[in-house]
Structure 1
């Protein structure tokens, strides 16, 4: 992997951690996701107007992926409603690199180099370890962890599909634009139906921070899609999930969560995994 690809994916990791922290910081989870999804849909309009149309082969993948992205957002919203940021986020992100590696091998024919595979496993182990940073999971936390695990499965599914789709599309900007334009209006529409006239007033206090979350979300995944056209899917997924280390720092500084030995060990494992992925 070139330095440019590694740098782009690591920047995406930082942006991803930031927008997830924004989504968690807004007390009403639905309101947070409405603002984020609205921003991505609006920003997608000039993208689809300026970029070439994705090829016909990419459209079935685009439609499936947009549905998976909506499912992912709903599951993530539920996880953040039920659990702590420091435990839900690592599990959602930590389960996906290994599943992407399996999906890439089965459906794309990309078998990782043994050193890269070791890096992917090491990153995933480091991320999942963060689940214990807030203490041993209790029975009361199982619903949140279950939602987080399903979120991780959805991440792996759309990551694999988008890795194929963006290559078939022939245009990264066009694919990303249509992806965000297709998925973006769904959650705002759900909120409009369930909240009615009260929605506008509920959005107002968080409108700017929420919209910035949407900007960071679009930039983060746009960088990942670009990297997937130039690198193997599993290593890109593993590098992207280093965002969890950034999120751990945010959890300490913003949400007052303890750092502790698990976060230190996790950070070391993720750093080792990133070096292995990049070196292969």
Structure 2
């Protein structure tokens, strides 16, 4: 992987961790996810006059990705009903790179040398290790949380692969990203209105500033990832993107003064080793 692509994905991971750390707005997880996606769509909508219209071959993938995001948000919210952030987030985000790696090699023809497979496995192991000490110590793994988190990972893998194919077919990552977010924001607004009623938007209104900041950061982070997937194997980009878990941990330690247990330091070490091996292999 070229250094420029590697650094861009690291920046995307940091942006992803930042908007997750900053956006504590007092809504339930599903409403928060909807607010972020709708706000990101609104920001993307403002850019459409300045980007190209997607090619016809990209539109089926844009539509598929928008639908997969609905499943992602739904199962993520369900997972949080049965588990803590420190458990759900690492399991869902840490499992998707393995799914992406297996499917991208099989379906997209991407090739990963043995060294990059080792780096990917080290990074994923580190992320999963965080889940073992995630959340409250009294909270144990349970079947509903684990199944919902793993299904969330499947949806993450699904829209990641869909967007990789769509952006490559479109041959213009920026155009694809802006139209994708615009469509996804509209679809999520319709789904939210249908599931919670139109008055639900009154609940979102007071949080528009936080939502707009989070949406803009989310848009920037994933747009970088979509571009990177046109430049490098999808599996590598997907795995490095999930190093956002490491950035989130560092933010919590440095800014929020959260303590770091020895097992989480070990997890950080594995993630860093994985990142380094994937870069150098």
* TM-score computed with the length of structure 1 as normaliser: 0.90
Q: Which residue of 1 aligns with 2:13?
A: 13
Counterpart of 2:140 (choices 138, 149, 157) is: 138
**Is contact 2:15-2:221 (8 Å) kept?**
yes
Instruction: Give the CA deviation at 1:196.
Output: 4.0
Q: Which residue of 2 aligns with 1:225?
A: 226
Is structure 2 residue 121 aligned with structure 1 residue 124? Answer: no
1:55–1:82 Cα change, 3 Å: same
Question: Which 10-residue stretch deviates more, 246-255 or 100-109?
Answer: 246-255
Instruction: Give the CA deviation at 1:257.
Output: 6.2
Q: Distance in 2 between matches of 1:164 and 1:158?
A: 10
Is structure 2 residue 222 aligned with structure 1 residue 247? Answer: no
Q: Distance in 2 between matches of 1:181 and 1:79?
A: 26
Instruction: Give the CA deviation at 1:248.
Output: 2.6
Q: Distance in 2 between matches of 1:59 and 1:191?
A: 23
What are the equivalent positions in structure 2 for 1:180-191 lying under 5 Å apart? 180-191=181-192
Question: Which 10-residue stretch deviates more, 218-227 or 161-170?
Answer: 161-170
Question: Which 10-residue stretch deviates more, 149-158 or 79-88?
Answer: 79-88
**Is contact 1:12-1:219 (8 Å) kept?**
yes
**Is contact 1:86-1:133 (8 Å) kept?**
yes
The alignment covers a number of residue pairs equal to 279
Q: Distance in 2 between matches of 1:66 and 1:119?
A: 31
Q: Which residue of 1 aligns with 2:179?
A: 178
- Superimposed CA distance per residue, residues 147-184 of structure 1 (whole angstroms, 9 cap, x where no aligned partner): 11111111111111211110111211111112111211
Is structure 2 residue 242 aligned with structure 1 residue 266? Answer: no
1:60–1:23 Cα change, 3 Å: same
SS of the equivalent of 2:235 reads helix
* TM-score computed with the length of structure 2 as normaliser: 0.90
Instruction: Give the CA deviation at 1:256.
Output: 7.9
SS of the equivalent of 2:133 reads helix
Q: Distance in 1 between matches of 2:229 and 2:261?
A: 34
- Superimposed CA distance per residue, residues 105-132 of structure 1 (whole angstroms, 9 cap, x where no aligned partner): 1111112011111111111111111111
1:255–1:205 Cα change, 3 Å: farther
Gaps of 5+ in 2: none
